[in-house]
Amino acid sequence: MEARRFKAMVDGSLMAEMVAAYREDGFLLLEDFVPPATCDALR
């Protein structure tokens, strides 16, 4: 199964389609939720 991807909303809100995907899949993949440099700092 390919994970559904969503573009993170600027205000952090979730669209109904995102909530439905979370309920069905058990996770939510949000692109650009945090800047790449922030993710790199976690390594």
The pLDDT value recorded for residue 41 is 95
The pLDDT value recorded for residue 22 is 97
Low-confidence spans in the chain with pLDDT less than 70: none
Beta carbons of 13 and 33 less than 8 angstroms apart: no
- Residue bearing tokens 């945090």: 34
The pLDDT value recorded for residue 3 is 92
Q: Where are the domains of the chain?
A: 5-41
The predicted model scores a pTM of 0.75
The pLDDT value recorded for residue 11 is 93
Residue 2 CA: distances (Å) to CA of 5, 25, 26, 33? 9, 11, 14, 19
The pLDDT value recorded for residue 1 is 76
